[in-house]
């Protein structure tokens, strides 16, 4: 049929993409900063300086990213606003790069109420901004599926939720987003919702979010725990799993 790609050509394209992803991930891994407890906690402290919108932390665009490897940002939704404001915080990038070394500390800091410099305001007379308890999962594994059944999580409120005009993102919110970037989940502490709405999913405001993530990962997840998680993701066909497995190997 016209427009269809021959199977042999499709296989070649898949192989080419796989090789490119592998090469990019390995190149980025070679440039990754060395992480230890001192550096990880220092990077978390530096999140208070975060001030620019980012994937999972934006009222004007939505998407998912893996900052250590170029070309991983995938847009889901965006307004007509200027997306050039997407300037990455280097501490955030370093924490995602640290991956399994940072994960236990990020989980510990989900309750961290220290404010960043990222202030979100709903200035339009149309739409609204409100708090929710969203923890996204496309193809949840068994541990994840059990945690997502926690009461109060991912449930629609009856009627119109109470709106707010202004919100300042916390260090705990950023840790929530970073964990999503590490474990291949689109966790959004701040996200845009058509039309002219903003949804806040804050573990410091809604503790059930922190409870769910800690239930998934236990007290102190190891590098093997993350590898097993990503192996399951890869087997389930979740995009992004292969890149993370290669990078964190």
Domain membership of residue 236 (yes or no) is yes
The helix or strand, by DSSP H or E, that contains position 93, with its residue range, turns out to be: helix 90-98
Q: How big, in percent rounded to 5, are the helix, strand and coil portions of the chain? A: 45, 15, 40
Element (H, E) at 181: helix 171-183
Torsion of CA 11, 16, 17, 19, to 10 degrees: 120
Is the residue at 121 inside a domain? Answer: yes
Which pLDDT score, from 0 to 100, does residue 6 have? Answer: 52
What pLDDT is recorded for position 19? 47
Buried b (16+ CB within 10 A) or exposed e, 173-189: bbbbbbbbbbbbbbbbb
pTM of the model: 0.85
Residue 1 lies in a domain: no
pLDDT average, residue stretch 177-186: 96
* Sequence-ordered list of residues with C-beta below 8 angstroms from that of 123, at least 6 positions apart, any chain: 165
**CB-based contact 100:88 (threshold 8 Å):** no
Question: Is there a domain that residue 186 lies in?
Answer: yes
Domain count, the chain: 1
- The torsion angles phi and psi of 169, rounded to 5 degrees, stand at -65, 145
Instruction: Give me 45's structure tokens.
Output: 């402290």
Helix (H, G, I), strand (E, B) or coil at 178: helix
Question: What range does the domain containing 152 cover?
Answer: 7-248
Answer yes or no: is 29 within a domain: yes
Does a structural domain hold residue 192? yes
Identify whether the C-beta of residue 52 lies closer than 8 Å to the C-beta of residue 169: no
Whether 2 is in a domain gets the answer: no
Judge whether 43 lies within some domain. yes
Q: Which two tokens stand for residue 157?
A: 């409120």
* Stretch among 10-14, 172-176, 220-224 having the lowest mean pLDDT: 10-14
* Distance from C-alpha of 219 to C-alpha of 118, rounded to nearest angstrom: 29
What pLDDT, in 10s, does the model give residues 130-146? 999 999 888 899 999 99
Segment 18-48, tens digit of pLDDT: 545 555 655 555 556 667 899 999 999 999 9
Query: How many Cβ atoms from other residues are within 10 Å of residue 119's Cβ?
Result: 11
């Amino acid at each position: 049929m016209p427009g269809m790609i021959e199977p042999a050509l499709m296989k070649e394209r898949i192989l080419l993409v796989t090789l490119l992803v592998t090469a990019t991930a390995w190149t980025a891994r070679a440039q990754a900063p060395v992480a230890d407890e001192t550096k990880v906690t220092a990077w978390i402290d530096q999140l208070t300086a975060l001030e620019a919108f980012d994937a999972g932390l934006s009222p004007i665009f939505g998407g998912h990213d893996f900052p250590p490897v170029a070309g991983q940002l995938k847009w889901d939704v965006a307004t007509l606003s200027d997306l050039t404001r997407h300037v990455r915080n280097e501490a955030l990038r370093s924490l995602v790069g640290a991956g399994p070394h940072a994960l236990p500390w990020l989980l510990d800091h989900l309750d961290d109420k220290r404010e960043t410099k990222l202030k979100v305001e709903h200035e339009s007379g149309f739409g609204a901004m409100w708090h929710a308890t969203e923890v996204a999962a496309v193809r949840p594994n068994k541990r994840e599926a059990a945690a997502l059944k926690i009461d109060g999580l991912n449930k629609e409120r009856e009627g119109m939720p109470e709106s707010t005009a202004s919100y300042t993102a916390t260090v705990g919110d950023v840790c929530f987003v970073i964990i999503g970037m590490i474990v291949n989940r689109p966790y959004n502490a701040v996200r845009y919702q058509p039309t002219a709405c903003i949804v806040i999913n804050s573990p410091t405001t809604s503790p059930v979010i922190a409870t769910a993530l800690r239930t998934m990962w236990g007290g102190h997840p190891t590098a093997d725990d993350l590898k097993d998680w990503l192996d399951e993701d890869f087997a389930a066909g979740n995009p992004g799993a292969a890149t993370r497995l290669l990078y964190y190997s």
